[in-house]
Amino acid sequence: VRHILCEKQSKILEALEKLKAGQKFNEIAATYSEDKARSG
């Protein structure tokens, strides 16, 4: 996973804060991304 797709800015900012706090990108992407390709 190389990106996180979100339409709502609030979700984007929440994901960004978790990244800044040191949480792993792939965990955040699995939780926040709305990318249809990611779900198979």
Q: Is residue 3 part of a domain?
A: no
- The reported pLDDT for the residue numbered 40 is 46
* Range from 4-8, 10-14, 22-26 carrying the lowest mean pLDDT: 4-8
Q: Is residue 32 part of a domain?
A: yes
Q: Is residue 24 part of a domain?
A: yes
Cα–Cα distance, 22 to 18 (Å, whole number): 7
Q: Is residue 1 part of a domain?
A: no
Of the chain, the percentage scoring pLDDT greater than 70 comes to 85
Of the chain, the percentage scoring pLDDT greater than 90 comes to 52
> Domain limits at 25?
9-39
Q: Is residue 21 part of a domain?
A: yes
- The reported pLDDT for the residue numbered 23 is 97
This model's pTM is above 0.75: no
Q: Is residue 17 part of a domain?
A: yes
Domain count, the chain: 1
**Counting beta carbons within 10 angstroms of the beta carbon of residue 4, is it exposed (0 to 12), middle (13 to 18) or buried (19 or more)?**
buried
Q: Is residue 30 part of a domain?
A: yes
Q: Is residue 4 part of a domain?
A: no
